[in-house]
A and B are shown apart, each in its own frame.
Chain A
């Protein structure tokens, strides 16, 4: 198994304060006698067993032996102390069961298969006062080694129960509880990434999700104690998980860099899947094979980090910083743990991966978030660009239509006037002027300054007054204050222009008016809006309305804008008053 002597635990224990008052009991028991035996009870001849020094490492002293081995350590007490004592086993592998002076006082879990995996958990047991005696006291410790795993016992500490318990809890926090939290968080992250992948359909999320999930699976080994699998299966699972995390990470790196390399990734996956052989190989081959695969996995991780950094150099400085830090940290931690694994580090040190994992994963997760946000913004920009293009396309279409129907129509009519019946030049000139006026009208409607009804009225007067004056008709301009019509865009302005122009031209042509009075203001009765009134002093409405005036057409046009047209006799009973009402909101209607 792994050499995971808790340096932290030892340091904590050494720092434990002594009990006040009576002389503190503080023993580090590092000499023991050893015998193999069964899990049920200590072997009777344990006291005369093989002398060993603690820490005792089975792969060194008895490499091919597995099963239960017993250690006997002893300590002397002047008297049974008042304050309670306890024993702390900072490290044992795979699990231990403890007897004090011939009585069993506790264990770290199951000692029989499936053996509790207590290799990463210090064992703290109170020493019952009733079992202690003055003089020599003996602890007999059964340690079970699994065939595929490490086995061993570190030096045992006996001392003040409270102090040892505090040290025990500190060690437990760092070695077990925090990795538990890391696993939980990693699981949540993997699920979130799964959701992203389902939503965004981008394989980069699946790749990173797989990497995280596999790392979590491997991380379980640091804190899970009772597994329903055989030790061999669990070892194989944990080892293959971290080996397979490497090709998953490579897939993530290639996709982040935007250059998937299917053949290279296939080769990586093939290497990674070799780790499934761990399930089938004999137990003595498991760790050597794993060590080899771990070196390959580290190489793949290094390659992936290189890909990410090379990509980030071209991208932006923030990403580069994240990748450099997370990548360097990740590789350093993996290399360290691999060295621990291979026994290259002589000093007892623990694995760093469980606690470093969140930092590394968070670093890469940040880059994913930035990528997602960038993609989101791009999509928004594209949507805006499309909206703009659509608006432009509609405008273009409208102008083309106006040209075609308006000016085009006028010119065709003028041509037929000339070629068809040889109309006199004066008439032709008038027709061409009308065409020119209409084109000016269209161009005027495109004027962005034309935002309100007042400007539209100004335009009407400017365009029509010369023609009116030629016929000896004058305007009476009585404009009031107008409310804003937010829906009045170029197209709508053109409609209003045309309606007013037609109403005025009608008054001129059919009614024989001499004065045209134009009023406007806020609609006073009924709905909110604006009204424009065109009143002439001409012949007035015929008794039976004839279609000649084209008023139904005007009414229809007004309705298209969401407004309405009213007819009434003029103020002195003479002439006609045409009132156009336009709504304050929701006008415009169909273009």
Chain B
């Protein structure tokens, strides 16, 4: 079964290269390309993909909005962002929007396809960088004053989740972590998926909470 991928990227050369990498992978099919948010939305409404791969800065909007809208319309849609540096701000913003990882723009075909394949196989791509960013992000959340947190915000890290993140941040691969903690690799990946979920829920919750506070939504 071939998984459908929608690619959104405004730079022509990069788009061509990534499109080529996706096409070269037998388990993936490029169901559409777009260079703007508007074009992407058109495609999303007509034929929603299994995986949305999008750049963050688009001429008429931000990639995170696309991701949020796509997952709101069809929660089974997975998303990845394209970034040059994989820096904290882009990554965390993407994760909060509901993405599950990122592609580095200059990767080889194999390096570009790997995270997409991991996703469609049910995994949650994660790297030491993402783990570091997440640890810091959850630490900051834990330190935030009560009034700044949404009332129904997702709880902080569990002990096991923290353990997994810290080992990931130190460079251990999923398999090595599983061996070290005496659990299965699948369990490790599930922990990661839960973490991403917490991030997305909290971020969605925060948006709702902020809207309520501004009086845009009927509150309690």
Residue positions of A touching B, CB distance < 8 A: 433, 436, 439-440, 443-444, 447-450, 454-455, 457-462, 466, 470, 477, 479
Q: Are B136 and A477 in contact, with the CB atoms below 8 A?
A: no
Query: Main SS of chain B's interface residues?
Result: helix
6 contacts between A and B (CB under 8 A): A443-B87, A448-B136, A449-B132, A455-B169, A455-B170, A458-B132
Q: Are B106 and A436 in contact, with the CB atoms below 8 A?
A: yes
Knowing A447-B88, A449-B135, the reply to whether A479 touches B129 (Cβ < 8 A) is: no
Kindly count the residue-residue contacts between A and B in the assembled complex, taking CB atoms under 8 Å apart: 56
The interface centre, meaning the residue of B108, B111, B128, B135 with most chain A CB atoms within 10 A of its CB, is B128
Whole-angstrom distance between the alpha carbons of A401 and B4 in the complex? 45
Residue positions of B touching A, CB distance < 8 A: 85-88, 106-108, 111, 127-129, 131-133, 135-136, 166, 168-173, 176
Q: Are B106 and A458 in contact, with the CB atoms below 8 A?
A: no
* Across-interface contacts of B86 in A (CB, < 8 A): 440
Q: How far is the CB of B64 from chain A (nearest CB, A)?
A: 20
B114 (CB) vs chain A CBs: closest residue: A466
Q: Are B135 and A458 in contact, with the CB atoms below 8 A?
A: no
Q: What 6 A-B pairs are tightest by C-beta distance, nearest first?
A: A458-B128, A461-B171, A458-B171, A454-B170, A449-B136, A449-B132
Q: Are B171 and A450 in contact, with the CB atoms below 8 A?
A: no
Query: Main SS of chain A's interface residues?
Result: helix
Knowing A433-B106, A449-B136, A477-B176, the reply to whether A462 touches B129 (Cβ < 8 A) is: yes
A460 (CB) vs chain B CBs: closest residue: B171
* Across-interface contacts of B132 in A (CB, < 8 A): 447, 449-450, 455, 458
Whole-angstrom distance between the alpha carbons of A462 and B176 in the complex? 15
Q: Are B111 and A466 in contact, with the CB atoms below 8 A?
A: yes
Q: How far is the CB of A276 from chain B (nearest CB, A)?
A: 67
* Across-interface contacts of A433 in B (CB, < 8 A): 106
Whole-angstrom distance between the alpha carbons of A15 and B128 in the complex? 93
Whole-angstrom distance between the alpha carbons of A461 and B173 in the complex? 10
The interface centre, meaning the residue of A457, A458, A479 with most chain B CB atoms within 10 A of its CB, is A458
* Across-interface contacts of B171 in A (CB, < 8 A): 457-462, 477, 479
Partner of B168, one of A439, A458, A460, A470: A458
Whole-angstrom distance between the alpha carbons of A466 and B171 in the complex? 13
A476 (CB) vs chain B CBs: closest residue: B176
Q: How far is the CB of B68 from chain A (nearest CB, A)?
A: 25
* Across-interface contacts of B107 in A (CB, < 8 A): 466
Q: Are A444 and B170 in contact, with the CB atoms below 8 A?
A: no
Q: How far is the CB of B193 from chain A (nearest CB, A)?
A: 20
* Across-interface contacts of A443 in B (CB, < 8 A): 85, 87
Whole-angstrom distance between the alpha carbons of A450 and B135 in the complex? 11
* Across-interface contacts of A462 in B (CB, < 8 A): 127-129, 171
Whole-angstrom distance between the alpha carbons of A12 and B168 in the complex? 90
